[in-house]
Amino acid sequence: MDLLSHLALGFETALSPVNVLYCFVGVLLGTMVGVLPGIGPTATIAMLLPITFNFEPVTALIMLAGIYYGAQYGGSTTAILINLPGESSSAVTAIDGYVMARKGRAGPALATAALGSFFAGTVATLILAVAAPPLARIALRFGPPEYFSLIVLGLIASIALAHGSVVKALAMIVLGLLLGMVGQDIYTGTPRFTFGFFELYSGINFVSVAVGVFGVAEILRNLEHETTREVGIRHVSNLWLTKEDFKRVAAPILRGTALGAALGILPGGGHVLSSFASYSLEKRVSRRPQEFGNGAIEGVAGPESANNAAAQTSFIPLLTLGIPAHPVMALIIGAFIIQGITPGPNVINDEPALFWGIIVSMWVGNLMLVLLNLPLIGIWVKMLTIPYNVLFPAIIAFASIGTYSINFNAFDIYAIVVLGVIGYLLVKLGCEPAPLLLGFVLGPLLEEHLRRAMIISRGDPMIFLTRPISAGLLIAAALILIVTILPSVRKKREEVFVEED
């Protein structure tokens, strides 16, 4: 009965006219972001974060969440129509989806992606609604040692799932932690790493980091590799499945939903990992494995269901523990902080309307996406003809104005420029910026819980090993790191990420 009453509160919040409007805006923008290759939800949320400053907290978070899971839908459109995934988790969809489109079955491929995504998103949101409250109650029992160890586990797991070299991913984590230490000491007020800039006494602006490292750097990288996008399939018909198609996609959708829901909570890139894992699973269990790579509809159904289920369940560690599973969740934590809300297990009790409103809005948003995606295919195809050199300057100008409007401080704009150049150089050096953002967001929390734990234990570091939960989390982190650097595992990681690229 408690769940029903909580969901009733969520529906009351999510179905208010303002929240429905911004949920629609979020999923529409998310779909557009997914369709336009080279931008991605991380850069888009980073750039739109400033304009949510004056929104009500629940409205801002509903819109940002809509952008994220909307991008999972939109990414499949270009993957199927022009073999160019708009989102990294849609890379697998392109393998069979594009072949289907070339064979005149673009409609069934798009319908499969939409229906699989809707089902997976709906089920995963139900899992989130059921699992979040008990997990939040467990998290309330955590003390500083447990939170410190949990954050360490999250950072190590994000290294394991990061692209490329483990050493470079670890370096990005450390750099993020160092950037998070800029500003006044949390206990003594002593300035650290400010280099005499008064503007840095309160730390580096989170929005400037997000917009610079992800937005500006991503745009510079895409302008360097701009290519002409040929849209060979401009008209899509038969946007429905045959009886035989339904039989073939039912089981992959169910398996993909279960797999994505489980992997979505993993720090780093569970939504990307889940789509690759689902494709491999479907190929292994299929009676027609020779069709994979040649237009197997199961190769669209499974991965699309998996990445959308993972997109929803990645909110579980965010809403229950205040720990981001990947960069998009880190940005949403930034939105919590901007709104004056401390993310974590207390949100469910302190802000019940916000907590349940976000969950219910995912059902509303998933329904909107089904109604949006298929009828508007023609518009999404036309958007692909927009030149980058027209689109990107407008995006940067919009993001800069939004960032300036938060504090009305020109220093934040200079920070975007500097951090954008740094982010671009890091990409050129083969360093993925995602661990940097996770380190930046989690660094202050890591330091705070470390110092609290040391105060409680009177300086004895054994407190992290004598408390069972903390010791278990640290052991898990050590095992993940050891497994990740094993030669066989390292080789497999490289193969997976080469396939994704």
Beta bridge mates, 184: 191
Q: What is the CA radius of gyration of the chain?
A: 22
State the burial class of residue 482 (Cβ atoms within 10 Å of its Cβ: 0-12, 13-18, 19+).
Answer: exposed
Q: How confident is the model at residue 190 (pLDDT cuts 50, 70, 90)?
A: confident
pLDDT of amino acid 319: 82
Average pLDDT estimate for 248-257: 90
State the burial class of residue 337 (Cβ atoms within 10 Å of its Cβ: 0-12, 13-18, 19+).
Answer: middle
**Interatomic CA distance for residues 16 and 62, integer angstroms:** 12
pLDDT of amino acid 87: 61
The residue that leads in pLDDT, 488 or 2, is 2
Say yes or no to pLDDT of 146 above 70.
Answer: yes
**Interatomic CA distance for residues 158 and 441, integer angstroms:** 13
Task: Kindly report the backbone phi and psi dihedral angles of residue 354, in degrees, each rounded to the nearest multiple of 5, phi listed first.
Answer: -70, -45
Say yes or no to pLDDT of 347 above 70.
Answer: yes
Beta bridge mates, 191: 184
pLDDT of amino acid 487: 66
Q: How confident is the model at residue 242 (pLDDT cuts 50, 70, 90)?
A: confident
3-state helix, strand, coil in the chain (%, to 5): 75, 0, 25
pLDDT of amino acid 253: 92
| Sequence-distant (≥ 6) Cβ neighbours of residue 390 within 8 angstroms | none
Mean per-residue pLDDT over the chain, rounded: 80
CA-CA-CA-CA torsion sign (352, 318, 24, 122): negative
Task: Kindly report the backbone phi and psi dihedral angles of residue 179, in degrees, each rounded to the nearest multiple of 5, phi listed first.
Answer: -65, -35
Phi-psi label, residue 193: left if phi above 0, alpha if psi -120 to 50, beta otherwise: left
**Interatomic CA distance for residues 285 and 226, integer angstroms:** 39
Least confident among 156-165, 201-210, 294-303, 427-436: 156-165
pLDDT of amino acid 50: 76
* Listed ranges 80-89, 103-112, 116-125; the one with the highest mean pLDDT: 116-125
CA 350 distance to own-chain centroid: 25
Least confident among 165-174, 328-337, 384-393: 384-393
Say yes or no to pLDDT of 132 above 60.
Answer: yes
**Interatomic CA distance for residues 364 and 76, integer angstroms:** 20
Q: How confident is the model at residue 279 (pLDDT cuts 50, 70, 90)?
A: confident
**Interatomic CA distance for residues 108 and 96, integer angstroms:** 12
The residue that leads in pLDDT, 366 or 79, is 366
What tokens does 395 get? 């995006």
* Listed ranges 102-116, 234-248, 381-395; the one with the highest mean pLDDT: 102-116
pLDDT of amino acid 268: 55
Nearest CA among 101, 103, 81 for reference residue 35: 81
What tokens does 455 get? 């105060």
Average pLDDT estimate for 38-66: 80
* Listed ranges 53-57, 79-83, 467-471; the one with the highest mean pLDDT: 467-471
What tokens does 98 get? 């594009």
Q: How confident is the model at residue 17 (pLDDT cuts 50, 70, 90)?
A: very high
**Interatomic CA distance for residues 267 and 53, integer angstroms:** 27
287, amino acid identity: R
Average pLDDT estimate for 402-425: 82
**Interatomic CA distance for residues 453 and 145, integer angstroms:** 5
Task: Kindly report the backbone phi and psi dihedral angles of residue 287, in degrees, each rounded to the nearest multiple of 5, phi listed first.
Answer: -80, -10
| Sequence-distant (≥ 6) Cβ neighbours of residue 131 within 8 angstroms | 316
pLDDT of amino acid 19: 92
Average pLDDT estimate for 2-21: 88
pLDDT of amino acid 24: 92
* Listed ranges 107-116, 321-330, 373-382, 392-401; the one with the highest mean pLDDT: 107-116
Is 107 within 8 Å of 233 (Cβ atoms)? no
| Sequence-distant (≥ 6) Cβ neighbours of residue 142 within 8 angstroms | 150, 345, 469
CA-CA-CA-CA torsion sign (281, 85, 161, 486): positive
Is 336 within 8 Å of 359 (Cβ atoms)? no
pLDDT of amino acid 318: 82
The three-point CA angle 229-234-239 to 5° equals 125
CB atoms within 10 A of CB 143: 15
pLDDT of amino acid 183: 86
Say yes or no to pLDDT of 265 above 90.
Answer: no
pLDDT of amino acid 212: 82
Average pLDDT estimate for 174-184: 88
Q: How confident is the model at residue 16 (pLDDT cuts 50, 70, 90)?
A: very high
Least confident among 30-34, 42-46, 255-259: 42-46
What tokens does 47 get? 């750039």
Average pLDDT estimate for 459-481: 89
Query: What share of the chain in percent tops pLDDT 90?
Result: 6
The residue that leads in pLDDT, 102 or 267, is 102
Q: How confident is the model at residue 20 (pLDDT cuts 50, 70, 90)?
A: very high
- 183 membership: H or E segment, kind and range: strand 183-184
Residue positions counted in the chain: 501
pLDDT of amino acid 496: 52
pLDDT of amino acid 164: 65
| Sequence-distant (≥ 6) Cβ neighbours of residue 196 within 8 angstroms | none
Least confident among 164-168, 379-383, 454-458: 379-383
